Amino acid sequence: MNLKLEKGRPKDVTDRLDKEIRTYDLLDELKISYERVDHEPAETMEACKAIDEVLAPAVICKNLFLCNTQKTKFYLLMIKEDKKFKTKEISGQINSPRLSFAPAEFMKKYLDITPGSVSVLGLMNDRENNVTLLVDEDVLASEYFGCHPCINTSSLRLKTKDVFEKFTKAVGHEYTVVTLGTE
């Protein structure tokens, strides 16, 4: 796999999905700089590892799309890749009963994202704030982090502060800081 980190949006957008182009449009409009690496869909840990090396020193996040038992509250949880998700640990911090992975149809409905492409950038499609953003404090502590531009054939390296100071405000989403790994 020949991976190359490039500044900004792709020059040729012919075969790119509309949701990916909208992501670049919004980042550019907000004057958020980013670097991009294009790749095959990253479906193995080995493929992800190669992409992560190109994006270094960015923290690579697991983005988990969760819901309560009744499927009435939805959450996007961003945690460092080396941490484990424990529903009990998160539930207590957000006063929500047991959380589980949300069905893919809600991911599509609220974030316009499919499994394998989940990203904080999908919140730009959640204009009615149906999804609450939860962020592991260790993600916020890093200077950079990596995520998909709403599709898993590209990955971006962004400054963490740009995402949480500019992007989330622009798309009308606040976030809740959570602590993981204490149990």
How much is the pLDDT for 1?
57
Q: How far is CA 17 from CA 65, 81, 147, in A?
A: 21, 26, 16
How much is the pLDDT for 178?
93
CATH code: domain 16-178 is 3.90.960.10
Mean pLDDT in runs of 10 for the chain (183 residues)?
88 93 97 95 72 89 91 94 85 87 96 91 96 95 93 94 96 94 64
How much is the pLDDT for 81?
83
Burial 89-102 (b: 16+ CB within 10 A, else e): bbeeebebeebeeb
Per-residue pLDDT tens digits for 52-101: 889 999 988 889 999 999 999 999 999 988 888 888 888 889 988 789 99
Domain ranges of the chain: 16-178
Mean pLDDT of the chain: 91
How much is the pLDDT for 6?
94
> Is the pTM for the entire model greater than 0.85?
yes
